[in-house]
Amino acid sequence: MVFDGRQPLVAILRQYLYAMERKLPRMTRLQGQAIISPTVDLLATAMNGAPLAATEYTLNNALAQRIQRHIDAHVKDPVLSAATIAANFRISVRKLY
């Protein structure tokens, strides 16, 4: 199966997997086992093109992590605001809050 990398769910999955690649060597075995289910849920969500009820938490958590990294990287940017963050992630300001 080939995923369209421009799709938001696929982009979240890709960034999550990159983060996993960087962090996994420092995780304990127990931590690694704990992320198996959320990882499979996120993969299923990307494959289905929409969140399933069981995977919605995982998807929102991955998005929140991406947003946090964006804020950390741009914290000194004078134009950083809820509106610019929401626009960057193609979500509403309400969803961002």
Task: Give the tens place of pLDDT for each residue, 18-77.
Answer: 998 999 899 999 988 888 888 888 888 888 776 666 566 767 778 888 899 999 999 999
What local confidence, expressed as pLDDT, does residue 46 receive? 82
What local confidence, expressed as pLDDT, does residue 55 receive? 62
What local confidence, expressed as pLDDT, does residue 79 receive? 93
Q: Tell me if the pTM is above 0.85.
A: no
Residue 97 token pair: 């809050």
CA–CA dist 15, 26 (Å, integer): 18
Q: Is residue 95 very low, low, confident or very high in pLDDT (cuts 50, 70, 90)? A: confident
Burial status of residue 6 (CB atoms within 10 A of its CB: 0-12, 13-18, 19 or more): exposed
What local confidence, expressed as pLDDT, does residue 90 receive? 85
Which residues are CB-neighbours of 74 under 8 A, at least 6 positions away?
80
43 SS3 class? helix
What local confidence, expressed as pLDDT, does residue 82 receive? 94
